[in-house]
């Protein structure tokens, strides 16, 4: 039993069936309706956007038995033969396989003869940029003085390789890559017509993977239906495309919002079991950031098939708008640089770490003696102007615990902070507090996280924690006999890892494998179980 691929079965046969390309459709319909049809057309664009499809529809419009029309009947002999690829006066040429000048001359020798069956003899030359210079010269002579019964329809993915003399003699139409939303709508229509059950999220994934090409989208849909056993489901789509589940992408962004680099790396390493395409993971992360940014800028922005509105609401509340922009920019740059990384997994991990380590250009400022922040104005709902910096009083105790008795690490864990502001707090040592003044020492290796915005957020969080307004004073260099929360977390993680490795080494089963088979333990592969 023969099967027709969806890309062929649902290839548009009229201008009305075209998906997108309204600017091209409108121009050609008007030309056909007014009778002002040029003798040479050039259709440019990436693969699968409809170049040869539009050319065939135009050939049908010119040779329909009911006359030159923008709406061919589709039932006459000419229309049926063009659809079947058997019309004698439609000469389709693949320029990639006929680059020699002799091939072109042989093709054009018959231009002077009248059409055998139709009204016009139509030459459809695909990938015309592949012709040689001599072949272009032979074609140019015909384009300059074409017989009235001949039309040239040229298609190419690389118009820059065409001679200017050829371009100047053609009406040029640049076909656009289709938006994913239009491709998704087209795929849903076809799935409904085919009676195939599907998940909306799976269709969205295919539309994104099609990268603007309807034909690629239909080919992927064919593949997914076969892969899913007659169903287009989201798990099957992700497995086929090598993308990770939405929950993993959301988890990555949640950890970025918390600034938890250790857990972020563990989450990134856990993706290896799915053998993902890390470029697509960064694409998915950037796509989620776009949705979060839109949710923050436009509160009425709704979710879609991939991410529900409540998920976007939660992430929009956890992330500062400036962090959303920073993470997005870092994700797309990291995707671009991924092929240069020693390995895709390590390049992906470094991109995530870069999101926490870098700040936008110009964000870092000259260190200030102190930052004064007052509580939000209850009437206007905004922060009043900061007061001037003041010299710190003398005699402030430099102890790693606050006057309330709680350790700095415990306080940081309780603060309502996310993103870079939490990183600032985590890389400081508490030196002491006297009245409204809190003195901190910032680890010099993390100076980039100290900006006006992060200082203000930290001061506000501490003001809420202590129940009174505080001012911050930063001293150069960490230490002072104390340990930053980040260092404490790193030390605890290293201790857990060392304990896990020691327990593994002392395990009776491991010792037995070593003794009996000479097995070797790879310490770098051992991870503590959470």
> Is 130 within 8 Å of 96 (Cβ atoms)?
yes
pLDDT digits (tens, 9 = 90+) for 246-268: 888 999 999 998 888 888 999 99
Predicted pLDDT at 104: 67
- CA distances to 123, 223, 425 from 429, in Å: 77, 57, 8
Residue 332 has pLDDT above 90, yes or no: yes
Cα torsion 517, 523, 527, 528: sign: positive
Question: What are the start-end ranges of the E strands in 331-427?
Answer: 371-372
Predicted pLDDT at 530: 59
Residue 189 has pLDDT above 50, yes or no: yes
Cα angle 255, 260, 263; round to 5:
80
Residue 380 has pLDDT above 60, yes or no: no
Residue 109 has pLDDT above 80, yes or no: no
The secondary structure of 79-143, three-state, reads: HHHHHHCCCCCEEEEEHHHCCCHHHHHHHHCCCCCCCCCCCCEEEEEECHHHCCHHHHHHHHHHH
Task: Please state, for a pLDDT cut of 70, what percent of the chain lies above it.
Answer: 87
Looking at residue 416, the DSSP 8-state letter turns out to be -
Give the helix/strand (H/E) hosting 28: helix 22-34
Give the contacts of 471 (CB within 8 A, at least 6 positions apart). Answer: 370, 371, 372, 373, 390, 436, 437, 438, 459
Predicted pLDDT at 196: 92
Cα torsion 408, 414, 415, 418: sign: positive
pLDDT digits (tens, 9 = 90+) for 290-312: 999 988 888 777 767 678 788 88
What is the C-alpha separation between 405 and 464, in angstroms, rounded?
17
Phi-psi region of 48 (alpha: psi -120 to 50; beta: other; left: phi over 0): left
Instruction: State the average pLDDT over residues 394-422.
Output: 68
pLDDT digits (tens, 9 = 90+) for 129-140: 888 888 888 788
Q: Is 255 helix (H, G, I), strand (E, B) or coil?
A: helix
> Is 169 within 8 Å of 143 (Cβ atoms)?
yes
What domains are defined for the chain? Answer: 6-174 (3.40.50.300), 180-241 (1.10.8.60), 246-357 (1.20.272.10), 371-378+396-483 (3.30.300.150), 493-525 (no CATH)
What is the C-alpha separation between 143 and 153, in angstroms, rounded?
11
What is the C-alpha separation between 528 and 530, in angstroms, rounded?
6
What's the chain's average pLDDT? 82
Predicted pLDDT at 395: 35
pLDDT digits (tens, 9 = 90+) for 200-222: 888 988 988 888 889 999 999 99
Which range, of 237-241, 454-458, 484-488, averages the lowest pLDDT?
Answer: 237-241
Instruction: Name the more confident of 239 and 36.
Output: 36
Strands 150-156 and 428-434: unpaired
Instruction: State the average pLDDT over residues 39-51.
Output: 90
Predicted pLDDT at 208: 84
């Amino acid at each position: 039993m023969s099967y027709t691929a969806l890309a062929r079965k649902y290839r548009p046969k009229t201008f009305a069936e075209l998906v997108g390309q309204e600017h091209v459709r409108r121009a050609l319909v008007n030309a056909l309706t007014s009778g002002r049809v040029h003798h040479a057309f050039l259709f440019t664009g990436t693969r699968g956007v409809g170049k040869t499809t539009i050319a065939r529809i135009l050939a049908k419009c010119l040779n329909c038995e009911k006359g030159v029309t923008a709406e061919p009947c589709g039932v006459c002999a000419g229309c049926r033969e063009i659809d079947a690829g058997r019309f004698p006066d439609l000469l389709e040429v693949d320029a990639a396989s006929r680059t020699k000048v002799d091939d072109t001359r042989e093709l054009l020798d018959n231009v002077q003869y009248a059409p055998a069956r139709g009204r016009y003899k139509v030459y459809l030359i695909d990938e015309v940029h592949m012709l040689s210079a001599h072949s272009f010269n032979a074609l140019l002579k015909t384009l300059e003085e074409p017989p009235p019964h001949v039309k040239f329809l040229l298609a190419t993915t690389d118009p820059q390789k065409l001679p200017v003399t050829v371009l100047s003699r053609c009406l040029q139409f640049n076909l656009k890559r289709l938006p994913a939303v239009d491709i998704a709508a087209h795929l849903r229509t076809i799935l409904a017509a085919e009676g195939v059950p599907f998940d909306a999220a799976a269709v969205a994934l295919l539309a994104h993977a099609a990268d603007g090409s309807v034909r690629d989208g239909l080919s992927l849909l064919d593949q997914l239906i076969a892969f899913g056993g007659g169903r287009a489901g989201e798990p099957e789509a992700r497995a086929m495309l090598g993308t990770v589940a939405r929950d993993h992408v959301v988890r990555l962004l949640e950890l970025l919002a918390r600034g938890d680099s250790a857990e972020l790396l563990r989450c990134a390493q856990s993706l290896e079991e799915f053998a993902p395409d890390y470029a697509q993971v960064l694409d998915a992360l950037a796509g989620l950031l776009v949705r979060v940014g839109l949710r923050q800028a436009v509160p009425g922005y709704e979710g879609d098939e991939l991410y529900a509105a409540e998920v976007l609401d939660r992430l929009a509340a956890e992330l500062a708008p400036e962090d959303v922009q920073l993470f997005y920019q870092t994700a797309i740059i990291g995707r671009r640089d991924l092929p240069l990384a020693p390995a895709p997994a390590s390049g992906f991990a470094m991109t995530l770490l870069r999101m926490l380590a870098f700040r936008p250009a110009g964000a870092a400022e000259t260190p200030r003696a102190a930052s004064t922040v007052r509580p939000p104005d209850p009437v206007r709902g905004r922060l009043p102007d900061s007061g001037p910096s003041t010299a710190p009083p003398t005699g402030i105790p430099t102890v790693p615990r606050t006057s309330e008795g709680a350790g700095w690490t415990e306080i940081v864990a309780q603060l309502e902070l996310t993103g870079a502001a939490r990183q600032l707090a985590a890389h400081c040592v508490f030196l002491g507090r006297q009245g409204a003044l809190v003195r901190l020492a910032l680890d010099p290796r993390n100076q980039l996280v100290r900006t006006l915005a992060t200082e203000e957020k930290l001061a506000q969080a501490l003001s809420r924690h202590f129940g009174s307004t505080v001012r911050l004073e930063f001293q150069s260099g960490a230490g002072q006999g104390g340990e930053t929360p980040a260092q404490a977390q790193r030390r605890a993680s290293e201790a857990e890892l060392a304990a896990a490795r020691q327990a593994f080494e002392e395990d009776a089963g491991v010792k037995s494998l070593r003794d009996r088979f000479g097995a070797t333990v790879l310490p770098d592969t051992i991870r503590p179980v959470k």
